[in-house]
């Protein structure tokens, strides 16, 4: 029943609605169509894609009895890299449930408390680096440094592996290859399938080389573990040695490879973006920064090494992160498919297997839920009373249902800890000439964001 769904007014035969479409920023492009209404469709090369952002419609798509995750568009394009790893597995693939059950305890409270000390020590590498920049009056490269931090954090806590990011002047080859494959996966959506061999010949070859590079690095991570024995039950130990608690099954060597790539990528890229956007907002909103800083000083005092329990107590810093992910959810879309023939929100009939893409940046700006000034950065939107006054499923930066983000607590703990440490140690000075520009490689990242940081006297 597509004909009832609005689409852009100008359509070309064969090409569809690609006029004015940007190949580099397809997501931000789709956001422009919000005026078509809470559900709209675009046509690319003869295929119709349905986009949903209205809160009522998204809440219905969150109904797990009628809808499930769909592997579509960008996620499907990552299958050659991540195969049946947790993020890209089809719902029916047995390796999804197997890996989910084996890996979930790696994200329990106990496991998280175990990662805390290592997260702190990685954060110290960052502050050493920023102390030197502050002393020299040099601006810091925020996304570059946040990527170093989050890659080291997931690599060391999950895999006992040190990428040496802070000792390098250029990004680790893992990061370069990852950015390459993510960008390629995004570009594939902007070219009609049959023309890919022609139009993306060079890019495909480069992509094959990137995948080979990723596989090679991952094999090295596994080899290092095999050589030096156990990692105290970290994620890699679980992947390699843990049998399913009920069936006794284990992950195959090939599936382990897919999971290692999946977790190294999913475990750092989006958290890096979230931290970068948060720092952008904090530098632009001194009053918010001062309030967050006062909270850190009150809760942590002068403790050099805040404990695991002290991180969750930073309620306001956590709201800064929530508000950051409201405006720029760094994994900005997820797809849902109908399990059976059904009617979406009592209005749009969907056949079994039909699917729609949820645009979270628009959901998070639905004026019916968030009020008229949705562009305004205001962490108080996440005060408990305000949260309780909103309907469920209106804030979805981590996706929904059984296939929602397994690393949510990991990301929030890491990001809150790091923001707390940075707020306590530095004043942030934005470059007044900087205008936020968001780059896309399936994920979102503020491009070219640099800040000047100034040491503050640390109490204690």
Can residue 410 be called a binding residue for ligand HEM (CB under 6 A)?
Answer: yes
Q: Which of 67, 163, 405, 410 is catalytic?
A: 405
Q: Which of 270, 360, 400, 443 is catalytic?
A: 270
Can residue 334 be called a binding residue for ligand HEM (CB under 6 A)?
Answer: yes
Q: Is 405 a catalytic residue?
A: yes
Q: Is 150 a catalytic residue?
A: no
| Pairing state between β 47-52 and 355-359 | parallel
What proportions of the chain, in percent to the nearest 5, are helix, strand and coil?
A: 55, 10, 35
One of 16, 38, 231, 399 touching ligand HEM (CB under 6 A): 399
Can residue 398 be called a binding residue for ligand HEM (CB under 6 A)?
Answer: yes
Can residue 403 be called a binding residue for ligand HEM (CB under 6 A)?
Answer: yes
Q: Return d(Cα 440, Cα 446) in angstroms, integer.
A: 9
Q: Return d(Cα 454, Cα 457) in angstroms, integer.
A: 10
Q: Per-residue DSSP letters for 98-157? A: HHHHHHGGGGSHHHHHHHHHHHHHHHHHHHHHHHHHHHHTPPEEHHHHHHHHHHHHHHHH
Q: How far is the CB of 329 from ligand HEM (least distance, A)?
A: 6
Q: How far is the CB of 330 from ligand HEM (least distance, A)?
A: 5
Residue placing its CB nearer to ligand HEM in the complex, 207 or 330: 330
Residue placing its CB nearer to ligand HEM in the complex, 217 or 266: 266
Q: Return d(Cα 396, Cα 301) in angstroms, integer.
A: 33
| 3-state DSSP assignment of residue 261 | helix
Which residues from 248-277 bind ligand HEM, rule CB under 6 A?
Answer: 262-263, 266-267, 270-271, 274
Q: How far is the CB of 151 from ligand HEM (least distance, A)?
A: 11
Which residues from 148-187 bind ligand HEM, rule CB under 6 A?
Answer: 154
Q: How far is the CB of 203 from ligand HEM (least distance, A)?
A: 24
In the sheet where 333-338 sits, what is the strand order? 39-44, 47-52, 355-359, 333-338, 67-69
Please count the other Cβ atoms lying within 10 Å of the Cβ belonging to residue 232.
7
One of 61, 68, 75, 119 touching ligand HEM (CB under 6 A): 75
Which ranges constitute the DSSP H helices of 246-374?
A: 253-266, 269-284, 286-300, 308-312, 315-327, 360-363, 367-370
Which residues are bridge partners to 443 per DSSP?
A: 441
Can residue 69 be called a binding residue for ligand HEM (CB under 6 A)?
Answer: yes
Q: Is 334 a catalytic residue?
A: no
One of 256, 331, 350, 354 touching ligand HEM (CB under 6 A): 331
Q: Return d(Cα 260, Cα 212) in angstroms, integer.
A: 14
One character per residue 91-120, x = contact with ligand HEM (rule: CB under 6 A): ---------x--------------------
Q: Which of 159, 174, 398, 428 is catalytic?
A: 398
Residue placing its CB nearer to ligand HEM in the complex, 158 or 180: 158
Catalytic residue ranges: 270, 398, 405
The footprint of ligand HEM (CB under 6 A) covers 69, 75, 86-87, 100, 154, 262-263, 266-267, 270-271, 274, 329-331, 334, 397-399, 403-407, 410-411
């Amino acid at each position: 029943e597509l004909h009832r769904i609005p689409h852009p007014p100008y359509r070309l035969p064969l090409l569809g609605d690609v006029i004015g479409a940007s190949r580099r920023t397809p997501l931000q492009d789709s956001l422009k169509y919000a005026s078509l209404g809470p559900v709209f469709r675009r046509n690319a090369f003869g295929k119709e894609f349905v986009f949903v952002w209205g809160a009522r419609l998204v809440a219905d798509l969150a109904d797990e009895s009628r809808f499930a995750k769909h592997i579509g568009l960008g996620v499907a394009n990552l299958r050659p890299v991540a195969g049946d790893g947790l993020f890209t597995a089809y719902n029916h693939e047995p390796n999804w449930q197997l890996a989910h059950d084996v890996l979930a305890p790696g994200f329990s409270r106990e496991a998280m408390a175990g990662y805390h000390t290592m997260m702190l020590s990685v954060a110290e590498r960052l502050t050493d680096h920023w102390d030197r920049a502050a002393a020299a009056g040099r601006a810091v490269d925020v996304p570059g440094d946040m990527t170093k931090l989050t890659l080291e954090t997931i690599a060391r806590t999950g895999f006992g592996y040190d990428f040496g990011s802070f000792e390098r002047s250029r990004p680790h080859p893992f990061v370069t290859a990852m950015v390459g494959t993510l960008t390629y996966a995004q570009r594939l959506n902007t070219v009609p399938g049959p023309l890919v061999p022609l139009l993306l010949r060079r890019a495909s070859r480069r992509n094959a080389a990137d995948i080979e590079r990723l596989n090679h690095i991952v094999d090295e991570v596994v080899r290092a573990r095999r050589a030096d024995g156990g990692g105290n039950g970290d994620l890699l130990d679980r992947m390699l040695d843990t049998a399913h608690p009920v069936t006794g099954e284990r992950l195959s060597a090939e599936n382990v490879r897919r999971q290692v790539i999946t977790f190294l990528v999913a475990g750092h890229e989006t958290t890096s973006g979230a931290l970068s956007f948060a720092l952008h907002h904090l530098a632009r909103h001194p009053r918010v920064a001062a309030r967050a800083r006062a909270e850190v000083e009150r809760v942590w005092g002068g403790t050099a090494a805040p404990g695991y329990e002290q991180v969750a107590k930073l309620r306001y810093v956590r709201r800064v992160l929530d508000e950051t992910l409201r405006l720029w959810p760094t994994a900005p879309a997820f797809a849902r498919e109908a399990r059976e023939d059904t009617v979406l929100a009592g209005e749009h009939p969907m056949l079994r297997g039909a699917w729609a893409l949820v645009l979270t940046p628009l959901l998070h700006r639905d004026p019916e839920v968030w009020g008229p000034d949705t562009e305004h950065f205001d962490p108080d939107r996440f005060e408990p009373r305000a949260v309780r006054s909103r309907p469920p499923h209106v804030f979805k930066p981590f996706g929904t249902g059984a296939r929602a983000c397994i690393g949510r607590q990991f990301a929030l703990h890491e990001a809150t800890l790091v923001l707390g440490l940075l707020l306590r140690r530095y004043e942030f000075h934005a470059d007044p000439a900087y205008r936020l520009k968001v780059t896309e490689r399936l994920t979102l990242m503020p491009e070219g964001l640099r800040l000047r940081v100034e040491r503050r006297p640390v109490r204690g």
